[in-house]
Each structure stands twice: as structure tokens, then as C-alpha cells.
Amino acid sequence: MKKLTSFIVLFISTLCVFAQNNSNQYKSNKSSEIKDVKNIIKLNIGEIFSNTMSIHYERMVTDNISVSLGVIGKYNSASTSMGYGSSAYSQSETTSGLGFMPEVRFYPIPDYHAPRGMYVSAFYNYYNETYEKLGKEYAPSSSVLVDSKGTVSSTFSSKGLTLGWLFRIKSSFVIDLAFGGGFQTIESPFTYDYKTNSGIVLQTNKSPNSPETKLNGLFRFSLGYAF
């Protein structure tokens, strides 16, 4: 917790110094390379490595304030072979998710052709992810090998603040870097069914739904196009 707080303070201080040193240089610069735009479409590159895709659309509503909406999706599937010889069977695991993220941004540097430069934002993030496992297992207190299906449905909701910098290269190419944090609530009830080959449920195990709230950090690295 102390390390996270220290890093946030250092990050904010660095951006503020950077903004102060550069705002006077650029705020009155009406370079033809930087045009006034109203829309940005961005892809969060950092999430791709976790088989997740996040696309955001940002729209300027005033000279310094914008609103955006992101759509988050995930799909990952894998299968393995279990057992030996005639007793071999396959086991599959699938993870899928869908969510959305509205955000309001404020660009404080005047005459800087926003959306561009330093910004602060408030966001809300809602995401639901389902993990499903299919295979065969021995039923509890039994030596019978039956079909099994396990499902974990996790819901993540968070709200917080970010501080970042949006770079525009040749007016249209966008690099968006941000760091922040917020409070995240996680709910992960699971259901596990033991079934016969005919589909009759022998036993169902369920977990209690116990929401957990914690402070969670956020880092964003997005590439996009402004128009």
C-alpha cells in the first residue's frame, strides 16, 4: 500500500513538472501539424497479452472536457487430454468476458489543442467474466467416473481516478499513457455439477457469494487515431 501510494505521488509530480515545463512552449503554438479534432478511437495494447481486447471512443464536449466509453471483451479456450489408453478423455476450459468503461476527462493546459497533453479523469468500470471447465471426474464419495461441469462467474466493478498524458503525432496518431487507481469490488460465486452420462445431476457444489473490495492500481497504454 505504501509503495503504491509513493509511486502514485511520484508519477503525479513527474507529470506536473513535465506539463509546467512544456505548457508555455506549446500552449500558444498554432502549428499546422496539430489540428483541432473532436474524436479519438483507441485500443488498449497492454490488455492484449491477457487475451483481452479493449476499444475506447472519446469525444470532446468542450474545449477541455471529453467523455469516453470503452468496450472490453475476452475469449480464451484450451483443451487437454486426461487419462491413459481406453480411459483417455478430453477436458476443456473456456474463459469469456464482456464489460464497459465510461470515463470523463479534463485537459487543464489552455490552448493546447485538446484532446492532447496532460489530463485527469474519473472512470467507472464494470466487467463480467465466466470460466467454464468441462471434463470427467469421480463423483464425491464414489468411484464412478461422471461428466463434470464447473462454472465460475466473476463480476468486477471499480471506480477511481487517473492521471495521464495524451500524445498526438502528426495530428492524428495517438499514444495514451495513464496511471491511477480506485476501489474494485469482486464477486466470484462458483457452481460445480457432477453428472451421469445421461445428464442426471448427482451433486452440485456452490460457493457463497462474498463480495470483496480492495484498492487496485491501473496502468494504461493505448494507441489510437484522432479525427
What is the C-alpha to C-alpha distance for residues 123 and 162, in angstroms, rounded to an integer? 8
Q: What value does the mean pLDDT take over residues 86-95?
A: 80
Residue 168: its H or E element = strand 145-169
Please give the pLDDT value at position 46: 79
Domain interval for residue 11: 2-226
Are the beta carbons of 95 and 76 closer than 8 angstroms? Answer: yes
Q: Give residue 27's pLDDT.
A: 47
Question: Would the pLDDT of 55 be above 80?
Answer: yes
Write the pLDDT tens digit of every residue in 136-160: 877 766 677 788 888 999 999 999 9
Q: Does residue 26 register a pLDDT over 50?
A: no
Picking from 68, 66, 39, 67, the residue whose alpha carbon sits closest to that of residue 55 is 68
Model confidence band, residue 13 (pLDDT cutoffs 50, 70, 90) = low
Backbone region of residue 121 per phi and psi (left: phi > 0; alpha: psi in -120 to 50; beta: other values): beta
Average pLDDT on 59-77 reads: 96
The answer on pLDDT for 113 being more than 70 is: yes
Q: Is the pLDDT assigned to residue 51 strictly greater than 70? A: yes
Residue 115's nearest CA partner among 178, 174, 69 is 174
pTM score of the predicted model: 0.78
Count CB atoms within 10 A of the CB of residue 104. 14
Cite the DSSP H helix spans in 27-104: none
pLDDT, average across residues 25-50: 75
Alpha-carbon separation of residue 132 from 167, 183, 186 (angstroms)? 40, 27, 18
What's the CA gap between 48 and 227, in Å, rounded? 24
What is the pLDDT at residue 135?
Answer: 86
CATH of the domain at 161: 2.40.128
The C-alpha cell of 111 is what? 490552448
**Percent of the chain residues past pLDDT 70, beyond the cut:** 81
Pair 41, 55: CB distance under 8 Å: yes
Sign of CA dihedral 31, 39, 107, 19: negative
Number of domains in the chain: 1
pLDDT band at 23 (very low <50, low <70, confident <90, very high): very low
What per-residue confidence (pLDDT) applies to 221?
Answer: 96
Whether the CB-CB separation of 172 and 227 falls below 8 Å is answered with yes
Please give the pLDDT value at position 107. Answer: 98
| pLDDT tens, position by position, 171-213 | 899 999 999 999 999 999 888 888 877 777 878 888 888 889 9
With 0-12 / 13-18 / 19 or more C-beta atoms within 10 angstroms meaning exposed / middle / buried, residue 30 is exposed
Q: What is the dihedral of CA 87, 90, 91, 95, to 10 degrees?
A: 180
Neighbours of 210 (CB within 10 A): 9
Residue 171 CA to residue 225 CA, distance in Å, equals 9
